Amino acid sequence: MLDFLYQTGWGAFTLMLLFQIPFLLVFPYIVYRKCFVNPKPGNTNPRKMTRLETVWIVSAIALFVIVNLYSISYMPMSRTAATEKTAAVIQDVDVTARSWSYEISNRQFEVGKPVRFSVKSVDTMHGFTVYHPNGKILFNMMLIPGLEKPSSLVYTFTEPGKYKVRCLEYCGIAHHGMQDELTVVKSDG
């Protein structure tokens, strides 16, 4: 259920619709009341919140907080921190991006073994985006040149295959050709 909501386009769309439901229910109700039940001008005190307003605001805030708390573990930074805490071994890989290619210290990985990508750009803004063989983006890093330390992210591949790397920050005339490939093989134990 949560994987569906946070990791697919239809899930994001469903979540957006869920946020509309309170509005879609409350708005026709108010119009109905003003037309048929009590058409007189309102006499609410603008300095005081009604019970309904309080309930609405509290539930909107609660929904916002709960959805965010649930989704935070899906963020690449949260996953990186969690893996760094628990994994016995993390394979280190250095990536240097320049117009218009990548220098990658290792392009072959094993299923189930966490990899720490330490990525930097030496000239201009670049991206380091890794795609699952099915075409979905697994993670995306934006590389700002001139940083003291490379940006790092830990990722654990779960399936063997060819993983495309692409730059998703427009970086000049040959940006579209800035691609590479990683290979993930089955673990040998």
Which one among 119, 154, 167, 184 touches Cu ion, defined by CB under 5 A? 167
Nearer Cβ to Cu ion (93/167): 167
Residues 33 and 25: beta-carbon distance below 8 Å: no
Nearer Cβ to Cu ion (113/175): 175
Alpha-carbon distances of 39 from 42, 94, 115, rounded to whole Å: 8, 69, 65
State in angstroms the smallest separation of the CB of 102 from Cu ion: 11
Among 14-22, 136-144, 145-153, 175-183, the segment contacting Cu ion (CB under 5 A): 175-183
Task: State the CB neighbour count (10 A cutoff) for residue 172.
Answer: 13
State in angstroms the smallest separation of the CB of 172 from Cu ion: 7
| Size, binding site for Cu ion by CB under 5 A | 4
Amino acid at residue number 150: P
Nearer Cβ to Cu ion (16/173): 173
Q: What angle do CA 144, 148, 149 make, to 5 degrees?
A: 85
**Residue 67: partners with Cβ closer than 8 Å, 6 or more residues away:** 15
Among 18-26, 40-48, 115-123, 162-170, the segment contacting Cu ion (CB under 5 A): 162-170
Q: In what order do the strands lie in the sheet with 151-155?
A: 101-104, 91-98, 115-121, 151-155
Residue 119 found at the interface with Cu ion (CB under 5 A): no
State in angstroms the smallest separation of the CB of 136 from Cu ion: 20
Alpha-carbon gap, residue 116 to 154, rounded angstroms: 4
Residue 175 found at the interface with Cu ion (CB under 5 A): yes
User: Where is 88: in which H helix or E strand?
Assistant: none
Which one among 171, 180, 182, 184 touches Cu ion, defined by CB under 5 A? 171
State in angstroms the smallest separation of the CB of 149 from Cu ion: 22
Nearer Cβ to Cu ion (171/182): 171
Alpha-carbon gap, residue 126 to 107, rounded angstroms: 19
Residues that bind Cu ion (CB under 5 A): 167, 171, 175, 178
